[in-house]
Amino acid sequence: MFVDERPYPPPVARQRTVLALAILDPRRFVARRRLVTELWEYTVPVSAGANLRNSVSSLRRWLTDAIGPGLDGTASPLTSVDEGWALRLPPGVLVETDVTEFDTWLATARGHLARSDHDGAIMALEQALQRYQGMPFQGIPVGPALAARAADLDLRWKAAVEDYTAVLLRRGAHEQAVHLLLDFLGQHPERERAWDRLMRAQYQMGDAVAALHTYQRARRLLVERFGIEPGAELANTHRAVLRRTLDTVF
């Protein structure tokens, strides 16, 4: 974490959960009931109320030390409202997170792809992928809401990698796409779109045999590890490679 471009020690334990929920909410609001569910889910202890007050109080002090008083001179940027807490930052204080930057660059990339602007899409996808460094919310005690957000981000990151390799193929960067896909599939062999991209890259490089071997490897892994046969897209690509009729543009 950085404050004024300087490293600043992050909050600890449950304080991180409170802060993450507040930052990621469009209204910068955390409902008390939602926070209790996030911290304890279905096994709420008798001491939950006291623990929650302590966590919020500690986070208030941390925020005041980090960025000063809140909006309109309140003692802390984290204030009690109705059935929860609101993060009201003073003027000039901006919050940037890898999660929000990833979302922003990914949306930008989608816009470039819709206009067939491959150069713009490459740049935006590279920026998005640079923001994704491992699973989200590492070091934060997560409950159902943050866990669901992390799973969604992970799926969108995988789709972004596949979109990136597709644009690389359109630009003729076959070897770069192959290296990226081999590394990606080593960790995520369930991604049929990635296997499809790899077959296409190998075919476009003039190596139909390698593409056919890739299909056999993909099918074996899918059957042995996940108990499924390749889907229609991957199977159709395989048939097109066999017939040497695979389109070089997709």
Q: Are 227 and 247 in the same domain?
A: yes
Q: Are 70 and 26 in the same domain?
A: yes
Mean per-residue pLDDT of the chain: 90
Cβ atoms within 10 Å, residue 208? 15
Q: Are 68 and 109 in the same domain?
A: no
The DSSP result for 134-190, as a single string, is: SSTTTTS---HHHHHHHHHHHHHHHHHHHHHHHHHHHTT-HHHHHHHHHHHHHH-TT
Report the candidate in 202, 205, 206 with the shortest Cα–Cα distance to residue 218: 202
Which residues constitute the domain of residue 21? Answer: 2-87
Q: Are 104 and 62 in the same domain?
A: no
Q: Are 73 and 116 in the same domain?
A: no
Which pLDDT band, with edges at 50, 70 and 90, does 6 fall under?
Answer: low
* pLDDT tens readout for residues 46-73: 898 899 999 999 999 888 887 777 666 6
> 142, 165, 188 — which closes off a domain?
165
Both tokens assigned to 167: 């644009």
**Cα dist. 12→17, 62, 76, 207 in Å?**
9, 10, 18, 53
Q: Are 135 and 203 in the same domain?
A: no
Which pLDDT band, with edges at 50, 70 and 90, does 41 fall under?
Answer: confident
Both tokens assigned to 114: 């819709």
Q: Are 27 and 66 in the same domain?
A: yes
> 30, 52, 87 — which closes off a domain?
87
How many domains, the chain?
3
Report the candidate in 103, 25, 8, 118 with the shortest Cα–Cα distance to residue 64: 8
Q: Are 16 and 68 in the same domain?
A: yes
pLDDT the model gives residue 63: 87
Asked if residue 192 lies in contact with residue 218, where contact means CB atoms within 8 angstroms, the answer is: yes
Close Cβ partners of 219 (under 8 Å, ≥ 6 residues apart)? 229, 230
pLDDT the model gives residue 7: 64
Q: Are 83 and 118 in the same domain?
A: no
Top-confidence range, 4-13, 35-44, 73-82, 165-174: 165-174
Close Cβ partners of 221 (under 8 Å, ≥ 6 residues apart)? 189
Q: Are 147 and 177 in the same domain?
A: no
> 55, 87, 119 — which closes off a domain?
87
What's 186's domain CATH number?
1.25.40.10
Q: Are 104 and 76 in the same domain?
A: no
* pLDDT tens readout for residues 87-142: 888 777 777 788 889 999 999 999 999 999 999 999 999 999 998 887 888 888 89
Q: Are 118 and 75 in the same domain?
A: no
